[in-house]
Chain A
Amino acid sequence: MSDAVNQNVPAIVQRTLNSADSPVVLSFEPYTKQNVILTLEGEGKIDVKVSLMEGSTVTLLWWNRGQALEIDETYDVGAFANLTLAYADLNDQTLVRKSEVRLIGEMAKAELRSAAVVSAQRNLSYQMTHVAHDTTSEMGNYAVMGENGILSMDVIGRIEKNGFRSNAHQSSRVLNLSENQKATVFPKLYIDNNDVQAGHAQSIGQVDPEQLYYLQARGLNRDEAVKLIVYGYLYPVAEVIADEELRELFLTEIREKVNQTCLT
């Protein structure tokens, strides 16, 4: 199955995927712009292959509504192409996700942001591979750990031999809402060229009791206050989305899912 998209107006294309669709192949024509929302459903394994041809600009949003899914994604980003990926993994199901972005053409750029509320087993791997020179990658992963959440997250930046003058940056943040959880983040940088910039940062913490008190002193009960803090915590994930309509959709998804979740 192959979808060729060639439009100048970046309308929002919505698709629902389940394991029967696998492998899913998406290809974006040179110098096109596209906004896509992909909703995952069902269970089982789904392979997704996406290629961005030269100069294309694509924003891809992922809603996870599935159960026990195993997702394997690869993205090939061509010269001067621009990929924005935003993940909303906010349900209470197990998930295995492996996502690799390959920056194969010069000046290719990719930004990835993920928002996760974790109250089951999650094995996540996000990788940016700089194959070509003058490529840029930026990753920001935000996880909120709920009761019984087990998170293992690999965040990998790889700059290959020919990746000179490339930029690879990543940050990961974890917010613990429960004592009964385990979060492990593995930030990794593999660099085979000296003329590059790369960095990683990660942090882990709890809800600030002073912040909680402040919101409660204005009449929000504990649950409402925590949800507002969590929503604010995940907000930066949406900032990467340039299109206003798409950003609002993303924020609505976060708000609704956070409101439905039992966090405390």
Chain B
Amino acid sequence: MSTLNIKDLHVSIDGKEILKGVDLNVNSNEIHALMGPNGNGKSTLLAAIMGHPRYEVTQGEITLDGEDVLAMEVDQRSKAGLFLGMQYPQEVAGVTNSDFLKAALNARREKPIGLFAFIKEMEGAIAKLEMKSDLAHRYVNEGFSGGEKKRNEILQMMLLKPRLAMLDEIDSGLDVDALKVVATAILDEYAKQQTGLIIVSHYDRFYQLIKPTHSHVMIDGKIVLSGDDTLAKKIDEEGYDWLQKELGVKITEVSDEAPIVRSTVGSLGVCAVNPRESHE
């Protein structure tokens, strides 16, 4: 049994306070739905738990089974059992998915995983997620469709077997059939590993499949309301306006922050005599 405990968490990005005192407690065998309008701090909370370097914790604490998460490096948090399925998974050119996953698995093992055991596990997960079988040999997320990237996040979760998994809009980019496949895979892992889950989604159809045990609404950097799974349905039908009246909170929807697009290289210059079109 694991417990993630968050107390009075304040987080800033570039000096601007985004989270203004979040309290949350998530145990094994619990599925927490985290809802709220865009730009109100849901992704920030997950990124701060995982330790994204851009997010500065100015106050409060996070513990996993009593261990101080904030004192850990990002990789230590992963090894401690935290997992974040990202909204915008990164591409890593030249590194195959299987090399990447092997490295990630070996990072948390004393002895490297045997090749046969690894292949068996990876192929099992690929089949379960109904992904193409060449996935192991493709470069990490490179040339993947949006849906493939999201499934690849769940694939990583299945292999790494976290104690607590956070899934940030993992359902966006998935069609109805893919949504079912992914939801089934998540629920099987949840049943098998007793994983605690925090799920951010805008869609009730995903919550209907996943069936959260707890629901929270986050507005302006605070959790303003917590309840059971009926909350997701109500929000899906009625939006967030009723909260404004009932709770007296002011809602400002901020357009979702665009992913930080930063090419690895900045070109110094390209010139050519009769250049070929595809030439780098």
Q: Give A contacts to B, CB under 8 Å.
A: 169, 171, 173, 175, 189, 191, 196-211, 213-222, 224-225, 228-229, 231-236
B15 interface hit (Cβ, 8 Å)? no
Residues of B62-106 whose CB lies within 8 A of A? 73-75, 77-79, 83-84, 86, 89-95, 99-100, 103-104
**A200 and B92 alpha carbons, distance in the complex (Å):** 25
Which residue of chain B is the closest to A214 with respect to CB atoms? Answer: B90
**A203 and B268 alpha carbons, distance in the complex (Å):** 6
**A197 and B86 alpha carbons, distance in the complex (Å):** 44
In the assembled complex, the CB of B73 is this many whole angstroms from the nearest CB of chain A, namely 7
Tell me whether B73 and A211 are in contact (CB under 8 A): no
Tell me whether A220 and B75 are in contact (CB under 8 A): yes
Residues of B153-198 whose CB lies within 8 A of A? 156, 160
Q: Give B contacts to A, CB under 8 Å.
A: 50-53, 73-75, 77-79, 83-84, 86, 89-95, 99-100, 103-104, 107-108, 139, 156, 160, 260, 262-276, 279-280
Tell me whether B89 and A210 are in contact (CB under 8 A): no
In the assembled complex, the CB of B267 is this many whole angstroms from the nearest CB of chain A, namely 5
Tell me whether B264 and A220 are in contact (CB under 8 A): no
In the assembled complex, the CB of B121 is this many whole angstroms from the nearest CB of chain A, namely 15
The A contact surface, by secondary structure, is mixed
**A209 and B83 alpha carbons, distance in the complex (Å):** 19
**A220 and B90 alpha carbons, distance in the complex (Å):** 15
Residues of B within 8 A of A201 (CB): 267, 270, 272, 279-280
**A236 and B264 alpha carbons, distance in the complex (Å):** 16
Tell me whether A203 and B92 are in contact (CB under 8 A): no
Across the interface, B95 reaches (CB within 8 A) one of A197, A208, A231, namely A231
Across the interface, A231 reaches (CB within 8 A) one of B94, B160, B265, B275, namely B94
Tell me whether A236 and B276 are in contact (CB under 8 A): no
Which 7 pairs show the lowest CB-CB distances between chains A and B? A232-B94, A235-B94, A199-B272, A205-B265, A214-B90, A203-B265, A232-B95
In the assembled complex, the CB of A141 is this many whole angstroms from the nearest CB of chain B, namely 12
Q: Say whether, besides A201-B270, A216-B73, A218-B78, A169 and B276 are in contact (CB < 8 Å).
A: yes
**A155 and B90 alpha carbons, distance in the complex (Å):** 32
